[in-house]
Copies of this chain bind each other. A is one copy, B any other.
Amino acid sequence: MNKATPDLQTFTIRDLAGEFDVTTRTIRFYEDRGLLTPERDGQRRIYHKRDRARLVLILRGKRLGFSLDEIQQLVTAYETPEDEIPQLEQYLRTLTEHRETLLQQKEDLEKTLQELEQAERDCRAALARKQS
List chain A positions with a Cβ less than 8 A from chain B: 60-61, 63-65, 78, 81, 83, 85, 88-89, 91-92, 95-96, 98-99, 102-106, 108-109, 111-113, 116-117, 119-120, 122-124, 126-127, 130-131
Contacts and interface: CB of A to CB of B under 8 A. Distances in A.
Given A63-B104, A64-B65, A65-B64, A85 B127 contact: yes
Nearest to A111: B60
A111 to B, nearest CB: 7
A60 B122 CA distance: 22
Contacts of A83: 126, 130
B89 A127 contact: yes
| Copies of this subunit | 2
